[in-house]
Amino acid sequence: MPKDFVPVARPHLGQEEVAAAGRAILSGWVTQGPEVARFEREFAAYVGSPHACAVSSGTTALHLALLAVGVRPGDEVITVSHSYIATANSIRYCGAKPVFVDIDPATFNIDPQKIEPAISDRTRAILCVHQMGMPCDLKAIVEIGRHRGLPVVEDAACAIGSEILWQGQWEKIGKPHGDVACFSFHPRKLLTTGDGGMLTTASAEIDAKFRLWRQHGMSVPDTVRHSSPEVVFESYPELGFNYRLTDIQAAIGREQLKRLPEAIAQRRQLANRYKQLLGDMPGLTLPDEPDWTRANWQSFCIRLPKDIDQRTVMQKMLDEGIATRRGIMCAHLEPAYRDPETWRCAQTTCKPSGRCPNLAESERAQREGVILPLFSEMTEEQQDRVVRALRAACSPRNQG
């Protein structure tokens, strides 16, 4: 790529992370161990959760969360199609079926009013997504879950550092509001360990399940076995998984956690500047931040005017050395979900194989959305280039 290329995202990593990784490597303990334990404690303290359990990815976090709240083969989980495919996949890993409901077009998040009509006698959980770091309406969703006796799992993959106004207090996503919150540390996220994930919960019982299952169902953790003055034989009372985070990753994550407040402040400033620079573009819809949320702005997604072709705009911008991404995907439009037996529409009489009339807002968000570059070290000059390129790409002469 040319030197002046503007990526859609860029992880903020420096010498502090290099030194942290080196510290873990030279310690002689590189798999799940003391650095992971410290990272878990520090992460829990940051979000305000009694428990935090590190795992190998945000997807494995979702899988364990759903298993822990009781999702089993033949069950249904209410969620959105409009999310990265890992959200729906994690439900299928449990042998269950995702039931897709539509989104609120203003926030790209699940529409709480669509949840209750989708509940059936097979529903075992609600899986909501804080899309692109924008908190969803947790208050309404949790109330539905409690009223109907359904656990609420939060896909908070993008939402580290985002906040919600909860009972008059600003609280971070990850402080237990539902039953479990799941985070991702992929390089596109504000906090990255290369890959990895975290689960937070108020339940000691659920946390214990995570810790057992992430390490093959082993009854005795490696740290306990290796530090024991006596020989310890472990057992495997349950089927588990190899979902561990390494100490090298955790050491990097601890340094990333220190960067978060500054990174979020920079992103919020850049998001506000985008709104100022793009506010006068005819037909362009800017992302909405409800007054009861403080987003970390993991991504900044605009909606193009209806007569503007998404691919054309993205290609014109790429030709100018600026990367973009399409609006968040819809799982039900992907080949892996073409079989109508793999998912259910919220309307029980609807069995589409492809486009779904009951997911019109989700499909429109994918079709009209464009994610613009946004990263902590982005300069105003780079942002000005993005805005100029977007305006040019949307002009009539480039849409012919």
From the candidates 114, 172, 189, 209, give the one annotated as an active-site residue.
189
Residues 6+ apart with CB under 8 A from 393: 312, 313, 314, 316, 317
Write out the H or E segment, with its range, that includes residue 213: helix 204-213
Integer Cα distance of 217 and 240 in angstroms = 4
Nearest CA to 317 among 329, 332, 302, 307?
302
Phi, psi values for residue 201, rounded to 5°: -160, 155
Kindly give the pairing relationship between strand 197-201 and strand 51-55: antiparallel
- The alpha-carbon radius of gyration of the chain (Å, integer) is 22
E strands present in the chain = 51-55, 76-80, 97-101, 123-129, 152-155, 163-166, 169-172, 180-184, 197-201, 293-294, 300-303, 325-326, 344-345, 369-372
Indicate if 175 belongs to the active site: no
State how far the alpha carbon of 281 is from the alpha carbons of 105, 200, 208, 261, 318, in Å. Answer: 19, 41, 52, 31, 20
Nearest CA to 192 among 201, 179, 203, 183?
183
Residues 6+ apart with CB under 8 A from 400: none
The sign of the dihedral angle between the CA atoms of 258, 262, 268, 271 is negative
Helix (H, G, I), strand (E, B) or coil at 293: strand
The DSSP annotation for 126-184 comes to EEEE-GGG----HHHHHHHHHHHT--EEEE-TT-TT-EEEETTEEEEBTBSSSSEEEEE
b/e map of 282-294 (b: 16 or more CB within 10 Å)? eebbebebbeebb
For 354-391, the three-class secondary structure string (H helix, E strand, C coil) is: CCCHHHHHHHHHHHHEEEECCCCCCCHHHHHHHHHHHH
**Token pair 């105003």 in the structure block, residue:** 380
Helix (H, G, I), strand (E, B) or coil at 283: coil
Active-site residue list: 189
